[in-house]
Amino acid sequence: MTAIQAHFRAVAPPVVLMGAVLVLWQVACWAYPHPEPGPVSVAATLLHLMGKAYFWHNAAATGRSFLLASGISIAVGGALGLLIGSSRLLSWYLAPLLMIFQTVPKITLYPIVLELFGLGMAPKVAFGVMHGVIPVYFITSRLVAGVRKVLLRSARVMRLGAAERFYFVIVPAILPDMIATLRVSVALCLLGVLIGEMFASHSGLGFMAVNAINLGDTPVTLAVGFFLAFMAVGINTLLLYCEHKLRH
């Protein structure tokens, strides 16, 4: 009973907000006829699309690249974070380099990515990783640097080796916060993958979106946009759930 209530309390506000925005949007469309479609027609388009095999084919293509890109981002960014975050010296010298990379608009590096990875899934994944890996690194290193010194000292007193210290102390200590902030970085991976699909691809939701844009098919553009938004919120909710499970 109370569990259901608590659940309701967590879910209700975002749903209500989304509902309110959609209603306002629809009302605006009725009140002010405009070439832009309202939520009802976008929803209809989305439903229509979701009945099509090619839509799911595209969604799956995006999903595969996204999973791979987030996996690599988390592994590489996490490893960099653990390494650099646990050393003041390394972070002083390497952090700004990575931050510069973060600031460079990745899209301008598209020519180089194409040169290095060719066509197909690889450049999309590379683009996803380029967007996601630095945020993962930053988060991890900040968390690792923030692990309370007394925990590390306890580990030393218990005569744990470096590997044991990572595995039994540092990783569990940062895990919940890590998942909390990973929510933002995997979203960036998805963005990177989509951008890759917009440039050179024959499948994927990014490809669909860019075609729809150039065909002036706004309902499909928005339908794809909203589908992506739903997916993102879904992933976010899943990670939030994991985080709650891990936090005591």
Partner 1 sequence: QPGARAAEISVTQWGQSMYGAPYAVALHDGLFKPCGDIDGIIGSAGGGSTVRNMMASDLPYAEVAFPAAVAAIAHHLDVIIVNVGTDTPAGASVVTTKTSAIHTLADLAGHKVAITTPRASSEMLLLMELQHKGIDPASVHRVASGGYVQGLSMLDSGEVDAAVLIEPLAIRRRDDYRTVVRAEDILPPMTMSVGITTRAFASAHPDTLRCIIGQRRKAVERLYAAPAEAATILAEVYHMPPELARVAIDNMVKAHMWSDGAIDTTELNRAADGLKLIGELKGDIDWNTAVNSSFLN
Partner 2 sequence: MTENGQTDVPCVELRQVEQRFTTRKGGNVHALGPLDLTLRRGEFLSIVGPSGCGKSTLLDILSGLARPAAGQALLNGQPIRGVPDGVGIVFQEDASFGWLTVENNIAFGLKRRGLARDDIAARVEHALDFMGLRRFRTSYPSQLSGGMRQRVCIARTLVMRPSLILLDEPFGALDQQTRLLMGDELLRLWRETNATILLITHSLDEAVMLSDRIGVMSARPGRLIKLVETGWPRERDSTVVSSPHYGDLLSEIWAPLRAESNHHMAANNA
Partner 3 sequence: MKTGLTAIPYALRLLLIVVLVGLWQVFCSIGLLGTGIVPAPVTIWHDMCAVMGQSASRAALWLSLRDILIAALIAGAGGIAVGMIVHPIRLLRAALEPYLASYYAVPTFIFYPALITVTGSGRLPIILISIMLGIVAMITTTLTALDGVSRSIVRTARVFGLTPLQNVMYVRIPAAAPMLLSGLRLCVSYAFIGVIASEFIMSDAGVGYQIAYAYDNFDTDTMYGYIGCVVVLAAATTLGFDMIAAEPVKREGA
Among partner 3, partner 1, partner 2, none, partner that 211 touches (CB below 5 to 8 angstroms by kind): partner 1
- Residue 87 interacts with partner 3 (CB under 8 A)? no
Say if residues 194 and 213 touch (Cβ distance below 8 Å). no
Terminal Cα distance for the chain, rounded:
21
Distance CA 23, CA 33 (A): 15
Among partner 1, partner 2, partner 3, none, partner that 52 touches (CB below 5 to 8 angstroms by kind): partner 1
The minimum distance between CB 235 and partner 1, in angstroms, equals 21
Q: Which is nearer to partner 2, 2 or 108 (CB)?
A: 2
- Residue 200 interacts with partner 1 (CB under 8 A)? yes
Tell me 169's DSSP state: I
The minimum distance between CB 167 and partner 2, in angstroms, equals 11
Q: Which is nearer to partner 1, 177 or 217 (CB)?
A: 217
Say if residues 193 and 148 touch (Cβ distance below 8 Å). no
Considering only residues 20 to 39 of the shown chain, the ones binding partner 3 according to CB under 8 A are 34-36
Could you write out the three-class secondary structure of 62-112? HHHHHHHHHHHHHHHHHHHHHHHHCCHHHHHHHHHHHHHHHHCCHHHHHHH
Query: Count of CB atoms within 10 A of residue 139's CB?
Result: 23
The amino acid at residue 136 is V
Which of 30, 33, 35, 159 contacts partner 1 by CB under 8 A? 35
The amino acid at residue 25 is W
Distance CA 200, CA 76 (A): 25
The minimum distance between CB 209 and partner 1, in angstroms, equals 11
Distance CA 70, CA 28 (A): 38
Find the part of the chain contacting partner 1 (CB under 8 A) among 10-18, 89-97, 148-156, 212-220: 212-220
Among partner 1, partner 2, partner 3, none, partner that 245 touches (CB below 5 to 8 angstroms by kind): none
CA torsion 95-100-101-104 (nearest 10°) is 160
Question: Which spans of this chain sit near partner 1 (rule: CB under 8 A)?
Answer: 35, 52, 54, 68, 111, 114-115, 117-122, 125, 198-202, 207-208, 210-211, 213-217
Question: Which spans of this chain sit near partner 3 (rule: CB under 8 A)?
Answer: 9-10, 13-14, 16-18, 34-36, 92-93, 96-97, 99-100, 102-112, 115-116, 183-184, 186-188, 190-191, 194-195, 198, 206, 209, 213, 216, 218, 221-222, 224-225, 228-229, 231-233, 235-237, 240
